[in-house]
């Protein structure tokens, strides 16, 4: 199965930015530090990690779709995406269960893994339609930005972006606007990798450093995302002690 080292390397950069940001967050929350994560450069670091991670998930969906389509018919391709999305969503639900047990006031309701799991399934009709993905992505992002300044007296649409005033969670990536970012990634994937092939010239740097290291991180991004916080929290608590 062909992989594109530049996509994996970009995802590796996003992983490093994510781990750095979460390290600072954990130092604040568990060790009493006071890093300003609400604005400025550190806030930008966190936003970059999140946007890059989600955007590249959309790019990867186009690559996976084109690989699968060469081997499977349309229904089997959808089955593959559905099963993959459910597996990622289950990982997200495990995080929900653990954080509810440990941090009932801030537990994760709909975080990045929930978003990606649902997006893998919902994005399927958009993957071969890059213009629809672009238009819908812009529209959903715009709607999500409007919702961010609004509050509601119900919580059953938290997954969509309708949040109550007192709501707080460690990790929140509702479909509005974040599914829109996935769709923009799908548009970019179709634009730059038409039919699953690189549509531009690039020297092969897959064996050169730091690209090789970054690509290796990118290939393990889901595993790193799932495991890095328990490791970080344990390290921070030991450091604080």
Q: What is d(CA 81, CA 44) in angstroms, rounded to the nearest whole number?
A: 32
Above 90 in pLDDT, residue 73?
no
pLDDT band at 240 (very low <50, low <70, confident <90, very high): confident
Note the pLDDT of residue 1.
53
Instruction: Report the number of distinct structural domains present in the chain.
Output: 1
User: Residues near 140 by Cβ (< 8 Å), separated by ≥ 6?
Assistant: 175, 176, 177, 179, 180, 183
Whole-number mean pLDDT of the chain? 94
User: Residues near 23 by Cβ (< 8 Å), separated by ≥ 6?
Assistant: 232, 236
Residue 190 structural domain: 5-240
Residue 172's beta-bridge partner residues? 110
Q: What is d(CA 228, CA 23) in angstroms, rounded to the nearest whole number?
A: 10
Q: To the nearest whole percent, how much of the chain has pLDDT over 90?
A: 89
Task: Tell me the pLDDT tens digit for each residue of 100-113.
Answer: 999 999 999 999 99
Residue 110's beta-bridge partner residues? 172
User: Cα dist. 90→83, 85, 189, 208 in Å?
Assistant: 11, 9, 26, 36
């Amino acid at each position: 199965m062909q992989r594109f080292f530049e996509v994996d390397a970009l995802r590796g950069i996003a992983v490093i930015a994510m781990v750095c940001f979460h390290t600072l967050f954990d130092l604040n929350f568990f060790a009493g530090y006071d890093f300003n994560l609400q604005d400025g450069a550190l806030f930008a670091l966190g936003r970059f990690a999140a946007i890059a991670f989600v955007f590249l998930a959309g790019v990867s969906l186009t690559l996976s779709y084109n690989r699968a389509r060469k081997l499977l018919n349309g229904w089997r391709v959808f089955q593959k995406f559905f099963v993959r999305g459910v597996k990622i969503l289950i990982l997200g639900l495990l995080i929900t269960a653990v954080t509810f047990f440990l941090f009932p006031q801030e537990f994760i309701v709909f975080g990045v893994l929930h978003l990606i799991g649902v997006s893998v399934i919902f994005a399927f009709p958009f993957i071969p339609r890059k213009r629809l993905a672009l238009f819908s992505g812009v529209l959903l992002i715009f709607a999500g930005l409007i919702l961010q300044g609004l509050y509601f007296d119900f919580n059953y649409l938290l997954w969509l972006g309708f949040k109550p005033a007192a709501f707080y969670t460690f990790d929140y990536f509702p479909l509005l606007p974040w599914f829109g970012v996935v769709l923009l990634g799908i548009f970019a994937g179709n634009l730059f990798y038409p039919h699953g092939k690189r549509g531009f010239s690039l020297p092969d740097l897959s064996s050169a450093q730091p690209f090789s290291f970054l690509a290796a991180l990118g290939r393990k991004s889901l595993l790193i995302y799932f495991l890095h916080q328990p490791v970080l929290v344990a390290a921070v608590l030991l450091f604080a002690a």
